[in-house]
Structure 1
Amino acid sequence: MRKMAVIFVALACWSSLVWSQGVHERFVGTWELDRIETQTESGAWTLAKTRWGSQPIGILTYDSAGNMAVQIMRRDRTPLSSAGLAEGQSVNSEALALAPVEEKAAAFDGYTAYFGKYSVREVEGVITHQRIGHLVPNQATLSVERHFEFLDDALVLAVPGGIRLVWNPAN
């Protein structure tokens, strides 16, 4: 009887480990932002109006070593007017310095990015992003938690305030 109990516990631990690795592995890869939604009082999900507009674009990457990076931006960002910053050219730091402050502020406001490490607590349905760098310097080094779920192939990350980001696997 004791052998059976030991075998049962060992199998339970092993299956839990396999399941855990399976959840972790589902994150690994590159994801494209499909939409950002907000929950209405009735519980329905609708497109959110964010500082990135109602149809932002973004990319999210997780690797198997625990590294992550995310970028989200307005789809309709206005190009800077400075000479030397023509569309299709590499960024010229001198021309960027000459761009009007208002244009640089608008470009900054319509974009966010950070990178760091991540860890998954699958029982709680939580992924933690331990930021190492962020576009906004005082946001770097913060850890943020996102509740997650997988809906078919999509990864859904919920943030405080009734907002969720829906990510699809990148093609």
Structure 2
Amino acid sequence: MKYLIPIFLFLLIPLSGCTEQPIPEKSNPFEGLWKLQIMEQKNPETGLWQEWRDGMQGYILYDATNTMALHLTMKGYENTDLRFPNFIDTIPEEALKHLTKSYVYLAKYTVNEQEGYVEHARISHSNPGDWNKVVRRKYTFKGDTLILQPYESENANLKLTWVRSTQ
């Protein structure tokens, strides 16, 4: 009988959840879907950040194979009565103007943790002049928030704040 209690405890402890669990390896903090919270531009006169134009919306997706996709649009882009066919050359001018409010690209990405940037080697782009270009983004993580700032001079005054999305 005196051996039954230790044996019982020995069997009970693993069932109680007190066993040591392996610590999962650190995952890629970029990986996942991010929703644009705000896109800001630095005012050159005041140095203050203010919302860019009338606001933007969109998503950025980083996957585990170092491929990423970005889609940005003006706020309310989807709220239009415009309907037009794809892949034909008879799209009305109004629809063509609306399409210019959508910005899309796909890229392979690499992260330089030492320098604090993520590099997007673009594979395709909604602007043909930006195909195969490589761009860098300074990055900062604050919990479930990712802040990206372009390195290239023509966009260096922009800041995009993303929140991890559950969609």
Same structural fold, with TM-score higher than 0.5 when normalized by the shorter chain: yes
- Counterparts of 1:1-171 in structure 2, within 5 Å, are 22=26, 25-40=28-43, 41-49=45-53, 54-77=54-77, 79=80, 81=82, 85=83, 92-93=85-86, 97-100=89-92, 102-159=93-150, 160-171=155-166
TM-score, normalisation: structure 2: 0.72
**Per the alignment, in what secondary structure is the counterpart of residue 159 of structure 2?**
strand
Contact 2:70 2:106 in 1 (8 A): yes
TM-score by length of 1: 0.70
Asked which structure has the greater CA Rg, the reply is 2
CA RMSD of aligned residues (A): 2.3
Question: Which stretches of structure 1, 4 residues or longer, exceed 6 Å deviation after superposition?
Answer: none
Q: 1:106 to 1:80 in 2, by over 3 A?
A: farther
Partner of 2:12: none
Please report how far the alpha carbon of residue 138 of structure 1 lies from its aligned counterpart in structure 2 after TM superposition: 1.7
**Runs of at least 5 residues in structure 1 that lack an aligned partner in the other structure:** 1-20, 86-90
SS at match of 1:26: coil
C-alpha displacement at 1:107, in angstroms?
Answer: 1.9
Give the conservation status (yes or no) of the 8 Å contact 1:156–1:165.
yes
- Structure having the higher helix fraction is 1
Identity over aligned pairs, percent: 26
